[in-house]
Structure 1
Amino acid sequence: MRLLASNSTRATTSQTPLSWNVGTFASRTARIMALAMFGALVIQVVLLDCAFSLFFTEEKNELLASSQDPSDFQLASYQSYGFFDDISSEDWKLHQQRFQTHKDHMNDRRPDPTSNELPAMYYMSHYDPLFTCPHERRLGGLGDGPKWTCDPHRLERVARERKEKTQAGAQTSNKQQQANCLIYSIGSAGKYEWEEALAKSLMKEGQTTLQTNCEIHVFDYSKDYTKSGHSSELNIHFHQWGLKSSYDDSLPKAWNIPPKDLERLYTLPEMMAKLGHTHHTIDVLKIDCEFCEWFTYKDWLKPELKILQLLIEVHNLPTSLPNPQQNKGGRYFPVSTNLSPSQFFDDIENAGFVMYSKEPNIHPQAQGNGVEFAYIKLHPEFFKAEGATK
């Protein structure tokens, strides 16, 4: 019995390692299978992620491609004479709708001021911007003198494309060759903040001189304000000329401008002819010549002149101008009563210009009686949006 017991014990003892080995093998197999399944799952997830990434990348590329389809920008480009080449038709139609539904007057039955001595009140209640340039900039810094300018980064491209088309056309004389861009600034009093900032905005990074054919011409008859280095570095050219009207000489007579100064006054077409720019496009015309705007504006709007942006500072009202010969107690007396404010602004709009900026001059001397207006020229089709009423 002891022998049997001993054999039984030995048999039991010898079976233990076999049982353990089988269990261990099964456990390892299970772990391997689990790892394999996990690995397969990871691979599936990775493949699925790649598939989704590829799908969405292609979808994104398709969306970008469709959004960058040149045909989608044709409406804005056509109606802005090529100036805006990246505004979708959908967004452009919103600009049209905004213009077509606007009101020019707080009270349409009284479009003109009832008091000629309150210009600031008039400007607060009439004519606001009807358009927004995506990247307009106040060039020249802060204070009085700088001007809001519509997307200056576009100027050189638009003018360059215009020049290429002109050169490609037949029967083009050398006198008609357009500079890459042309800027006229009338009235400066020796201040060049806007002109210098505009020139520098056209420079590429790292440049210290304006390495384009963009010309900036500054006019002021009162004094020689030529600034050293302007011509060679920034392509800014000063002319001691003033602006006169071809149809109204009220202001020079009222202000007793001396004969020697009258000899340096020219109409805008005469200025352009003297500089060889008769057939050229003026990309930006800036007017800030103390009341001359009321007596010369019809010359700027002549159909034969091509002007793409108008930057105008108006002073007081055309029926409320300071007349040195009639000044009594600082009050304003009319120099000319042939023009109403509404006629002035309506004529500008009817010539195809849309206001994009309005900035009252709140300098203590101006007290809101002077206002900076900025306009961009658009195609007649812009003003004819279907299904809208003005």
Structure 2
Amino acid sequence: MNTDQDWFVNVPYRPRYSAEESSDAAYEKDKVHRRCMGRKRRAGTILFVFTFAFVAGIIVRAYLFFINMKGDGKLAGRVAMSTKTNETHSLWGWINRVKPQKKFDLAQSDSYGFFNEIANEDWEKMKRGTMMTIDLQYGIIHRTSDLLSESGANIYSNLWWNDNWKVNFSCREKIRIGGYWICDPIRIASLANEYNRSIKPKRKKRNDPAYMCVVYVSGGNEIEFWGQYFDFLWSRQDQPHSVHKDDLLGCEIHVFAPNEQAVHEARDGLFLHNWGFRPKNKGNMGPAFKTLEETIAELKHSGRISVLALDCEACEWDIYKDILSLKEPIQQVLMQMHGTPYMANELFLAMQEAGYVIFNRENNGDVDVWDYSWMKLAPSYFNWKE
């Protein structure tokens, strides 16, 4: 028969106040209770960690969203598209920020919202290419200035054009329409539609004063230009990749023809005016000619002109000053250049100083006739130190 002393020897020690609390049943119950409490603590810790991660993820995504919104800008009233990245849109997409992600805000900021699908690293390469071309051109100016004509004769035109004012910017979506090279006409129409939706979604009329897609064309074969322009937009209108199903045909094309060219077919969005452009410094040339500033004021197009296509038989050497003096800049300027007058470098330097880059040039078939296409960019694009 076991004594009380034997009981303490044979049973594991348990720090209890009574024999009942130190029994085997109490011990087993205590172990179950402790396991349960341990599980609750672990579950609470896991829940806290997940809750913290969830809240931190939301805060980080909100922070990244706001810092990526920098650089939104506009040109002549146009609305800049929102910054794009290639990050996942899942709840935990912020985790992917551990890896470098492509961003598109630099192109958007430097182009007043026109380019929104060029990654920052590609845009930086384009900026360096422009910088090197411009630096090279400065040296060429001094070496070839003696080839410019002071008398009006174009003896050395081919030599001067071969070396001077090459393309210094790449537009990936440029297309030739009616003899002119335009940078991404689909994007021009899309930006206009984006602006219209932002101010009044139900406003759709082409004659609405706020419609933002206006193209001016004067000189050359204007009728061929507007015909090809509309045909191109028609061909793209119903394709599946049409962005937001925009009304690509909503652009107005204004043809300025002092000789009153005949229009063989009526098309919505075409406007024919029976005058041409003259430089301000040429004085009054009669009712058949008006300055660009007078035309814009009369038609109420200030800040709405996306493209100016001009072939005025050597008036470009004077009228470029009128283009650059406008209160609201024109997004793309397409001009045919004639000859090599002594002020030739002044035109190109002034366009460059105003923020225009050359995205196309080609010879028109004559040694001293060249077609040029410029695109307006923001001053930040030319800040090589950034």
Q: Same fold (TM over 0.5)?
A: yes
How many pairs were matched up? Answer: 274
Q: Which amino acid aligns with 2:171?
A: C
Counterpart among 137, 142, 163 of residue 104 in structure 1? 137
CA distance in 2, matches of 1:90, 1:119: 38
Q: Give the equivalent residue in structure 2 for 1:227.
A: 263
Q: Which amino acid aligns with 2:231?
A: K
CA distance in 2, matches of 1:294, 1:176: 34
CA distance in 2, matches of 1:70, 1:214: 36
Q: Which amino acid aligns with 1:374?
A: S
Q: Give the equivalent residue in structure 1 for 2:38.
A: none
Counterpart among 308, 311, 314 of residue 288 in structure 1? 311
Contact 2:111/2:378 (8 A) holds in 1: yes
Contact 1:178/1:280 (8 A) holds in 2: no
Contact 1:106/1:125 (8 A) holds in 2: no
Per-residue deviation, 1:115: 4.9
Contact 2:144/2:160 (8 A) holds in 1: no
Higher relative contact order (CA 8 A, sep 6+): 1
Contact 2:147/2:159 (8 A) holds in 1: no
Q: In 2 relative to 1, CA 79–212 (structure 1 residues): closer, same or farther, beyond 3 Å?
A: same
Q: TM-score, structure 1 length as denominator?
A: 0.63
* Corresponding position: 1:351 with 2:363: no
Q: Give the equivalent residue in structure 1 for 2:371.
A: 372
Counterpart among 303, 320, 332 of residue 297 in structure 1? 320
Q: Give the equivalent residue in structure 2 for 1:182.
A: 214
CA distance in 1, matches of 2:248, 2:349: 39
CA distance in 2, matches of 1:361, 1:188: 12
- CA offsets per residue over residues 228-269 of structure 1, 9 Å max, x none? 32343xx222111111111245xx8xxxxxx6xx22211111
Q: Give the equivalent residue in structure 1 for 2:170.
A: 132
Per-residue deviation, 1:159: 1.7
Q: Give the equivalent residue in structure 2 for 1:24.
A: none
Q: TM-score, structure 2 length as denominator?
A: 0.64
Per-residue deviation, 1:77: 1.0
* Corresponding position: 1:241 with 2:275: yes
Q: Which amino acid aligns with 1:269?
A: E
* Corresponding position: 1:269 with 2:293: yes
CA distance in 2, matches of 1:229, 1:70: 50
Write out aligned runs for 1:67-82 (5 A). Answer: 72-82=103-113
Considering only aligned residues, what root-mean-square deviation do their CA atoms show, in Å? 3.0
Per-residue deviation, 1:62: 5.3
Q: Give the equivalent residue in structure 1 for 2:41.
A: none
Q: Is there any run of 5+ residues in structure 2 with no aligned partner, and where?
A: 1-85, 202-206, 240-246
CA distance in 2, matches of 1:299, 1:166: 30
Percent identity for Structure 1 against Structure 2:
26
CA distance in 1, matches of 2:248, 2:107: 29
Contact 1:246/1:299 (8 A) holds in 2: yes
Contact 2:147/2:157 (8 A) holds in 1: no
CA distance in 1, matches of 2:124, 2:106: 9
Greater shift after overlay, 351-360 or 109-118? 109-118
* Corresponding position: 1:150 with 2:183: yes
Paired residue secondary structure (1:110): helix
* Corresponding position: 1:318 with 2:341: yes
Q: Which amino acid aligns with 2:346?
A: Q
CA distance in 2, matches of 1:80, 1:243: 28
Q: In 2 relative to 1, CA 61–161 (structure 1 residues): closer, same or farther, beyond 3 Å?
A: closer
Per-residue deviation, 1:112: 2.4
CA distance in 2, matches of 1:184, 1:242: 11
Counterpart among 158, 177, 183 of residue 120 in structure 1? 158
Counterpart among 248, 254, 259 of residue 217 in structure 1? 254
* Corresponding position: 1:307 with 2:330: yes
Larger Rg: 1
CA distance in 2, matches of 1:126, 1:224: 36
Contact 2:212/2:304 (8 A) holds in 1: no
Paired residue secondary structure (1:163): helix
Greater shift after overlay, 73-82 or 352-361? 73-82
Q: Which amino acid aligns with 2:370?
A: V
Q: Is there any run of 5+ residues in structure 1 with no aligned partner, and where?
A: 1-59, 141-145, 169-174, 253-258, 320-339
CA distance in 2, matches of 1:75, 1:265: 41
CA distance in 2, matches of 1:163, 1:113: 50
CA distance in 2, matches of 1:314, 1:61: 45
